[in-house]
Amino acid sequence: MSEPSQPASTPPRKVRRVLVVGIDGVRHDVLLALPTPHIDAVAAAGFLTAVEVADGTPTMSGPCWATIVTGVTVDKHAVWSNDFSGNRLRVFPDFATRLAQQDGRRTYVAAGWDPLVTVADGGPLFAHPSRLSYSAPAADTPEEWEECDERITEDAVRVLGTDDPEASFVYLGAPDETAHFLGCGDAYERSVVRADERLGRIVAAVRGRAGYDAEDWTVIVVTDHGHVRAGGHGGRSGAERTAWVACAGPGVIAGRAPDRVRHEDVAAHVYAALGRTADRHWTLDGRPFTAGPKAVLFDMDGTLVDTESLWWQTVEGLARELGHALGDADLPAVLGRGVHDTAAHLHEVTGGRRASAELAAELDRRFLAAVQERTVARPGAVELLDLLERDGVPLGLVSASPRSVVDAVLKSLGAYRFQVTVAEGETPATKPAPDPYLAAVRSLGVPAAACVAVEDTPVGVASAEAAGCVVLAVPSLTPIPAAPGRTVRDSLEGIDLDWLRTLVAEGSDQAGWSK
Ligand SMILES: [Zn+2]
């Protein structure tokens, strides 16, 4: 399969920046019960959702953070405990290192836990961010960890406020240390609230940036694991293995968490938020949080199939039997016309030997038979339908052709693929009015803005855009220019779900975090 081309629609857009704040060992239930307005603000602009530490992953900081920042599971990065020896982080590096080394991007990491940023215990997890702030606690006590988090926060406020890192990771460790020393009681809760306050100061620094108006920020807040009530983790209890992620930013629609979020999705989302398509050989296990299309709606003729040539051959065959050789002069009366117009034309050019209505019925019969037997799918169409079906994406057919033709095509393409089909005359108005697309999205119960409509003509594009769909134009005869919310490509070949995902993200004008 060939590499899909980038979306052709590139209206000037803001520069992308990503901040990940990792807070160690914050129980999901404790978080929900505490006043944490800054995490709540991220959740309100995007989502906050529980994350279950995967079955084979120890509920320990090392393995969990490694999964979070590499985007691959423990089997690949091989950080199996808080001793990082034997890791495969050179093969599966953290996002800050990958972006700095491979793309020359500015990245920033601030942390005080040794193996994250030093060679202690087989580290570092973050090998080569372009900027690194390391500030270790004077001792492993809750008080010293608060001091350490404070220094890290001050550094982050300074760097994020005045420098320009494109992707950052800031680590706060005091809540975890407090739970280990004192259990998950009042002191732990106060530490979680303080971590939220520190997040608030870091985010305020981002918002106060001189260039903030020209930037589009993604903010991710994540914890690695929970704790048992008495403090401690490493086991498989719900309290230990339930972590969480909050995220807001472009492409993340407020109030719509992805169906299932995993730790490895964090790094995948960092890349996606920067507009960096992950290379296949990175073998990321994570997927961006960006919602995929809730449905893909296809125009039929010219987009999925080409029935025009069959129509021409049908008319040509009947004309020949009646002694008329179809030629260029007949084109305007045959292509893009209703069957009755074409029948009336045939009636005329063949000297009125058969009644127009009779010719229309005969054309209908022969054309439908031809469509059913010999429909030719457009390049890449069947592969794309197969792929979307495999991924469980609901599909709709939104056609301007009569129901009889739609049904004949469906017999060949597979009617079972489509949850809804709309044919000519089944809505109050037809394309370019939005009605056919609106009927399809209503029937599917999905928002139009979360649907990709695939069209081949300007009239169809106008209909889909009026309905509010994200449009993928694959022009057949008439060229179609790119526009905001509209992507143009040469064919359906090579399209995959990740690519469609980026279309929905680009097309969504949700940039809740920036507003
Ligand atoms: Zn931890």
Spell out the SS3 assignment of 150-180: HHHHHHHHHHHHHCCCCEEEEEECHHHHHHH
Domain termination site, one of 374, 391, 425: 374
| 3-class SS letters over 228-245 | CCCCCCCCCCHHHHEEEE
Mean pLDDT, residues 486-511 taken together: 78
Domain-embedded: residue 57? yes
> 227: CA distance to ligand 1 center in Å?
9
pLDDT score at 464: 97
Question: With 80 as the cut, is the pLDDT of residue 291 above it?
Answer: no
pLDDT score at 369: 92
CATH number, domain with residue 483: 3.40.50.1000
User: Is 174 in the same domain as 45?
Assistant: yes
Lookup result for tokens 């589009």: 216
Q: What would the two tokens of residue 509 be?
A: 């004008």
Please write the tens of the pLDDT for every residue from 352-367: 889 999 999 999 999 9
Q: Nearest to residue 268, comparing CAs of 73, 74, 75, 79?
A: 73
Q: Judge if 423 and 331 occupy the same domain.
A: no
The model carries a pTM of 0.68
Residue 300 CA to ligand 1 centre (angstroms): 53
| Residue that is written with structure tokens 């303080």 in the block | 194
Q: What is the mean pLDDT of residues 263-292?
A: 89
If you measure from the C-alpha of residue 205 to the centroid of ligand 1, how many angstroms do you get, rounded to a whole number? Answer: 26
Mean pLDDT of 246-270: 89
**End of a domain among 282, 317, 342?**
282
Instruction: Tell me what pLDDT residue 339 has.
Output: 85
pLDDT in tens, 82-116: 999 999 999 999 999 999 999 999 999 999 999 99
Residue 289 lies in a domain: no
CA 157 – ligand 1 centroid, Å: 23
pLDDT band at 511 (very low <50, low <70, confident <90, very high): very low
Per-residue pLDDT at 13: 59
> C-alpha distances in angstroms, 114 versus 82, 91, 125?
10, 21, 9
Which of 413, 469, 496 minimizes the C-alpha distance to 297? Answer: 469
**CA 61 – ligand 1 centroid, Å:** 3
Question: Do 370 and 385 reside in the same domain of the chain?
Answer: no
Q: Which residue has the tokens 């609230």?
A: 193
The pLDDT value given to residue 332: 85
The verdict on 91 and 214 lying in the same domain is yes
* pLDDT confidence of residue 501: 80
- Quick one: average pLDDT of 174-197? 98
Residue 41 has pLDDT above 70, yes or no: yes
Q: Using the 3D structure, point to which of 374, 397, 413 is the last residue of a domain.
A: 374
Distance, CA 39 to ligand 1 centroid (Å)? Answer: 18
- Please indicate whether residue 513 or residue 406 has the higher confidence score (pLDDT): 406
Question: Do residues 339 and 207 share a domain?
Answer: no
Tell me the percentage of the chain whose pLDDT exceeds 90: 77
For residue 506, name the pLDDT band (cuts at 50, 70, 90). low
DSSP for 186-248, please give it. HHHHHHHHHHHHHHHHHHHHHHT-TTGGGEEEEEEEE------TTS---S-SHHHHEEEEEEE
Tens of pLDDT, residue by residue over 454-475, are: 999 999 999 999 999 999 999 9
- Report the amino acid identity of residue 451: C
The pair of structure tokens assigned to 299 is 């125009």
C-alpha 175 – ligand 1 centre gap (Å): 9
User: pLDDT-derived band of residue 507, with 50, 70 and 90 as boundaries?
Assistant: low
Q: How far is the CA of 457 from the centre of ligand 1 (A)?
A: 54
Give the domain extent around 446.
295-305+377-507
**Cα–Cα distance, 224 to 253 (Å, whole number):** 24
Between the CA of 77 and the centroid of ligand 1 the distance, in Å, is 17
In this structure, are 103 and 24 located in the same domain?
A: yes
| Residue 98 covered by a domain | yes
Domain assignment of residue 347, yes or no: yes
Taking the centre of ligand 1 as the mean of its atom positions, its distance from the CA of residue 150, in whole angstroms, is 18
249 inside domain: yes
Name the token pair of 317: 């065959």
Q: What is the CATH number of the domain that holds 253?
A: 3.40.720.10
CA of 244 to the centre of ligand 1 (A): 13
What's the pLDDT at 509?
46
Q: How far is the CA of 25 from the centre of ligand 1 (A)?
A: 5
Total domains present in the chain: 3
Chain-centre distance of CA 377, in angstroms? 27
Give, as one character, the DSSP assignment of residue 143.
H
The SS3 assignment for 510 reads coil
Residue 254 above 90 pLDDT? no
In terms of domains, do 361 and 382 share one? no
State whether 64 and 165 are in the same domain: yes
Beta bridge partner(s), residue 301: 305
Give me the DSSP letters along 354-390: S-HHHHHHHHHHHHHHHHHHH--BPTTHHHHHHHHHH
State the number of CA atoms in the 13 A half-sphere of 2 facing the CB: 10
Indicate whether 368 and 387 sit together in one domain: no
Find the mean pLDDT for residues 53-62: 97
Same domain, 229 and 343: no
The answer as to whether 5 is a domain residue is no
Chain centroid, CA 123 distance in Å: 33
23 and 85 in a common domain = yes
Shared domain check, 175 and 42: yes
Q: Using the predicted structure, report yes or no on whether residue 9 has a pLDDT greater than 70.
A: no
**255 alpha carbon to ligand 1 midpoint, in Å?**
28
389 lies in some domain: yes
Q: Is pLDDT at 163 greater than 50 in this prediction?
A: yes
pLDDT of 108-123, one tens digit each? 999 999 999 999 999 9
Q: Is residue 2 part of a domain?
A: no
Query: From the CA of 467, how far away is ligand 1's center (Å)?
Result: 47
Tell me which of 219 and 412 has the higher pLDDT: 219
| pLDDT above 70 as % of the chain | 95
Q: Are strands 47-52 and 167-172 parallel, antiparallel or unpaired?
A: unpaired
Q: At what angle do helices 356-374 and 308-321 cross, to 10 degrees?
A: 130
- Return the minimum-mean-pLDDT range out of 240-244, 275-279, 506-510: 506-510
Instruction: Check: CB of residue 226 under 8 Å from CB of residue 24.
Output: no
- Say if residues 469 and 441 touch (Cβ distance below 8 Å): yes
